[in-house]
Amino acid sequence: METKMKALRMHAPYDFRYEDVPVPEIDDDEILVKIEGCGICAGDVKTLHGGVRVWGTSEENRYIEAPVIGGHEFVGRVVKYGKNVKGVKEGDRMVSEQMVPCGECKFCKSGYYSMCQRHWIYGFKKDAQGGFAEYMKFNKQGIHHHVPEELTLEQAVLIEPLACAMHAVERAKIQHNDVVVISGLGAIGLGMVSVARKLQPKLIIGLDLRQKRMDMALKCGADIVMNPMETDVAAEIHKLTDGYGCDVYIEASGSEKSVQQGMASIRFCGRYVQFGVFPKAINVDWNDIGDGKEIEIYGAHLGPYCYEPVMKGILDGSIYTDGLISHTYKMEDWKEAFDTAEKDPDAFKVMLIP
């Protein structure tokens, strides 16, 4: 087996390098996989552009341990595994969840492993290198899943983002009579539409600035789509709900205006879920949360306990995936791929393949 491989490593803001690195070495409890494909997350694009939540403002508050191989939306096939690893054989197709939990903190011990205090996410830590590479090591503390052969490569790469989508929808506690608004119709937002449709709410409204994303949301199960640049969204939602406002607003765009729009659109005692990540601090009138509307606010982070149900949903067709991988590039063409993910109005999810 090779001792060197190609990988996309993050050295600093605006300094990603496709370079030769050693193939990871595994111990008796770890798994080595050959990467089939890895999606580009919006977080990866923000990392390239120096996102402060990753790079911090100093060495003391920096999250990323650069240089490090990025990528957390991966799928691969087992090429080697340690003697203590059970239930795995060469050729198995597998994913590992984004979070590598420590198993010792109070969050891990109480079942909230996605909020592990140590908080290692693949693609950001030296001991949890990511999938923008030919080979990748699954950490011994990771949570691994076998991937059905029936899934296409495109569907398999979507497991991680769709798990995030499912968890966010779960946080919203959607009921059958709810009017649900999902703002931001990228691949994860579209996944939210599919998962929300499985719950059969009264109405699902999708919001985005791009026509192709709105068209895709209708295929995924949205009843109505709106472009906030063309429609007074809050006013229209109030018209559709006899003046009350929506029951649930899920923010998946990471836009300050989307948050303000959500606060204006949601009813008294409504449920607001924040999933989108902002490039910097935002300004919102928090009086709407308490004194104004007594809104229930929920955060959504990663996709705990959602990988298996997502794979089941893809297999039975209840989670729509056709066309969600809109572009595929060789890993060596990562610059063009990142540019497409960031700027192409027709892009949903961009995938890199070694």
Residue spans of the domains in the chain: they are 4-158+321-353, 165-299
For residue 7, what are the CA distances in angstroms to 158, 191, 199, 281?
21, 29, 40, 32
Asked whether the CA dihedral 46, 295, 226, 261 is positive or negative, the reply is negative
CATH of 4-158+321-353, one of 2.30.40.10, 2.60.40.10, 3.65.10.10, 3.90.180.10: 3.90.180.10
Q: What is the pLDDT of residue 111?
A: 97
Which comes out higher in pLDDT, residue 122 or 53?
122
Average pLDDT, the chain: 97
Quick one: pLDDT at residue 300?
98
Sheet containing strand 4-12, strands side by side: 15-22, 4-12, 68-69
Residue 41 DSSP one-character state: P
> Which residues make beta-bridge pairs with 271?
248, 296
Helices (H), the chain: 42-48, 52-55, 106-109, 153-157, 159-172, 187-198, 211-220, 233-240, 256-265, 307-316, 334-343
Give me the percent of the chain exceeding a pLDDT of 70.
Answer: 100
Instruction: Encode pLDDT of 153-211 as tens digits.
Output: 999 999 999 999 999 999 999 999 999 999 999 999 999 999 999 999 999 999 999 99
Summarize the confidence of residues 295-308 as an average pLDDT.
Answer: 98
Q: Categorize the per-residue pLDDT at 1 as very low, low, confident or very high, splitting at 50, 70 and 90.
A: confident
Report the pLDDT value the prediction gives residue 265, as an integer from 0 to 100.
98
Q: How confident is the model at residue 302 (pLDDT cuts 50, 70, 90)?
A: very high
pLDDT value of position 280: 83
In order of 107, 233, 348, the CA distances from 183 in angstroms are 29, 11, 15
What would you report as the CA-atom Rg of the chain, rounded to the nearest whole angstrom?
Answer: 20
CA distances from 339 to 19, 113, 300, 344 (A): 19, 33, 27, 8
Question: From CA 69, how far away is CA 67, in angstroms rounded?
Answer: 7
Whats the size of the chain, residue-wise? 354
Query: In this predicted structure, which of 44-48, 57-61, 229-233, 295-299 has the lowest mean pLDDT?
Result: 57-61
Q: pLDDT at position 279, please? A: 81
Give the count of beta carbons closer than 10 Å to the beta carbon of residue 277: 16
CATH architecture of 165-299: 3-Layer(aba) Sandwich (3.40)
pLDDT of residue 281: 86
Local structure of residue 128 (DSSP, 8 states): B
Q: Partners of 75 in the beta sheet? A: 37
Residue 49: how many other CB atoms lie within 10 Å: 13
